[in-house]
Each structure stands twice: as C-alpha cells, then as structure tokens.
Amino acid sequence: MKFAIALYSAAHAPSSRRALRFAEAALASGHEIVRLFFYQDGVHSASSNIVTPQDEQDIAQQWATFVSQHQLDGVVCIAAALRRGVLNEDEAARYQRPGVNLKAPWELSGLGQLHDAIQTADRLICFGGP
Amino acid sequence: MSTLHVLSHSPFSDTRLGSCLRLLGSDDALLLSGDAVYAVLPQGSALTPLQEKTVFILEEDLLARNLDCPQWATCVDYPAFVELSIRYDKVNSWL
C-alpha cells in the first residue's frame, strides 16, 4: 500500500509526533511512503534550528533521521517555509537572510508535489492540529 | 465509500466532534487521538451518542491521560492505526 503523508503542525505539537509514529508503523508493516509533505506550520518540523529541552523528545531531529534512514522524499512547501523563515542555502542567499535552517534530507518545493503524491498514493493521511 | 474520521481536538473545546458525528455515515468510523480521547469521559459521551458508532481510540493517548477504554470503543496502537487507514477507503483528519 502506498501512503502520502501531509503534516500541518510544528515539531512541538503532539500531532507531529503522531505523524512520525504512524509513518514508522507504516514502513514497519511493509508499506511504502511515496512522499512526506510538510505544509503550513509543518515546515517547522523540518527546521534544523530547533533546540529541544534535554528531557523532551526531539521530534524535528527524529523526523530528519527517519527521512534520511529510509531515504524518503521529504518535501517542505516553499511558500509556507519562506513566510515562516525556514530557508535552505539557496533561499537564504536569494533573499539575503542571515540564517539557513533547512538542510538535507529536506527539499523545498511547491504544492504540486502534494498533488502529485496524492495521485500516486493509495491513501493520503493528514496530521495537524493539537 | 467508507471513511475513517480522525479527531485530535478535545470535545470540550470546540464543536468538531458534533459536526463529525452529524455527517458520519453508517460505514464510517471515528478514531480519537490526542485530546479528542477526552470524549470517553461520562460528561463527553453524555453530550454525544458515541456508543452507537464505530469508535477507535489511540491507546497511547488514552494511557497518557490515565483514561480507560470504554466498552463501546476499540483501543488501537500505531500498527493498527495503519491497518485502519487501509481498511477504510479514505481518511479524513479534522485538523
């Protein structure tokens, strides 16, 4: 079964953690994740500048590790990311901003990637809110 | 076409659960996660006729709130959540 997973919440929201646990369980059950699409506040879940207190789970880091480990297609909405200050090297240079907080394995791209993933996948699962 | 409706907002903070129940089809089911699991409280189910519906609850979120799984619901873990998302034709998350 092919899954497309869309995440609408930041790493500190419990829904970001639920999305990660769902994605892990999907792969563990032998299913495929065609794409992860981070949209709206979900772009914060891909930021590499997040500092989590030591006694809490670093969900942003866990996401990055998960995507790298399984070589998944982790796409961050470029319009949502720019307006929230989540920039990769190219965008930071383009808009002359001092910080870069989006690195591999994440890729900035457009909403078309979500549409494409929905067409390819058997199921679209969205996570967001609290 | 069957739909699994996924809720994560507390039933005491907004009207999502009520709205969802109004359009829940006979083949549809509800999955309560996050603060939505508070719907198992007697005060919650008194407001809504959950007992007559097919209700699943994410066990982890129930345990985190020290709540028990009521008889009218089925507790699920993440592998079972994945299985449910396949069993139903669509998954509709009430973001």
What residues of B are in contact with residue A29 (Cβ under 8 Å)? 79, 82-83
ipTM over 0.85: yes
Q: Is position A126 annotated as part of the catalytic site?
A: no
Banded model confidence at residue B43, pLDDT cuts 50, 70, 90? confident
Residue closest to A36 by CA, chosen among A87, A89, A75: A75
Q: Is A8 on the interface with B (CB under 8 A)?
A: yes
Q: Does residue A19 carry a pLDDT above 80?
A: yes
- Backbone φ, ψ for residue B54 (5° rounding): -85, 110
The H-or-E segment that residue B30 falls in is strand B29-32
By CB neighbour count within 10 A (0-12 exposed, 13-18 middle, 19+ buried), where does B19 fall? Answer: exposed
Give tens-digit pLDDT for B51-81: 889 999 999 999 999 999 999 999 999 999 9
**A121 three-state secondary structure:** coil
Distance, CA of B80 to CA of B94 (rounded, Å): 19
Map out the domains of chain B as residue ranges.
Answer: 3-94
Do residues A52 and A39 lie in contact, with contact meaning Cβ atoms separated by under 8 Å? no
CATH class of residue range A2-127: alpha beta
Q: How far is CA A101 from CA A36, A46, A92, B44, in A?
A: 18, 8, 9, 42
Q: Does residue B45 carry a pLDDT above 90?
A: no
Interface probe for B, chosen from A16, A24, A27, A29 (most Cβ of B below 10 Å), is: A29
C-alpha atoms less than 13 angstroms from C-alpha of B74 in its C-beta half-sphere: 13
Taking residues B10-26, report their average pLDDT: 93
Extended strands (E) in A1-130: 2-7, 32-38, 74-77, 106-109, 123-127
Map out the domains of chain A as residue ranges.
Answer: 2-127
Q: Provide the percentage of residues in chain B whose pLDDT is more than 70.
A: 95
Quote the pLDDT of residue B46. 58
Among residues A34, A64, A77, A102, the one annotated as catalytic is A77
Architecture of domain B3-94: 3-Layer(aba) Sandwich (3.40)
Q: Does residue A75 carry a pLDDT above 90?
A: yes
